[in-house]
Amino acid sequence: MNFERLQAFIASSPMLWLALAGLTIAIIVTEVMRLFRGYKSLAPAQLTQLINREDALVVDLSPAADFEKGHIAGSRNIVASQFAADHKAVAAAKAKPVVLVCRNGQASATAAAKLKKAGFEQVYWLDGGVAAWQQADLPLVKGR
């Protein structure tokens, strides 16, 4: 595509051009914000490495009944509505990697922002939650 064709496109389709420019700016802003938010998403394989290499604390924010049906081995259950940075299960882990997990990844991302704001140094969340863990054919533990 040359410059003349681009100018012709802009002149003949100003609404499409504005939509394209707006979407491009929105994507760039979102990605820049993600770089500076202070906590990171993890894929299931990255989580297993973090658990094995750095003894990460894994906190599952699922309801107790869902936690008992299946959770990542070694994870601790704190119901999302009761989660706080000063909760006894996480308060002592400010310098340790803390990974937040929920069923689909939404509640854990919100909780990760709370931990980072409270001064935790290494905060992560499992992108896609337990569903992504299962999709990666990784095992879940049943019961408490």
pTM exceeds 0.75, yes or no: no
Q: Is residue 143 part of a domain?
A: no
d(CA 60, CA 54): 18
- Single out the catalytic residue among 102, 109, 111, 126: 102
State residue 54 phi and psi, 5-degree precision: -125, 10
Query: Which helix (DSSP H) or strand (DSSP E) does residue 59 occupy?
Result: strand 57-60
Q: How far apart are the first and last CA of the chain?
A: 60
If one counts the domains in the chain, the total is: 2
Residue 93 structural domain: 38-135
Q: What is the pLDDT of residues 50-94, one digit of tens each?
A: 999 998 999 999 999 999 999 999 999 998 888 888 888 888 888
Please say if 102 is a catalytic residue: yes
Same domain, 24 and 82: no
In a shared domain, residues 62 and 116: yes
Type and span of the H or E element at 67: helix 64-69
CATH classification at residue 71: 3.40.250.10
Classify residue 140: in a domain, yes or no.
Answer: no
**Is 57 part of any domain?**
yes
CA-nearest of 52, 55, 143, 41 to 100 is: 41
In a domain, 14, yes or no: yes
pLDDT tens digits, 110-128 = 888 888 888 888 999 898 9
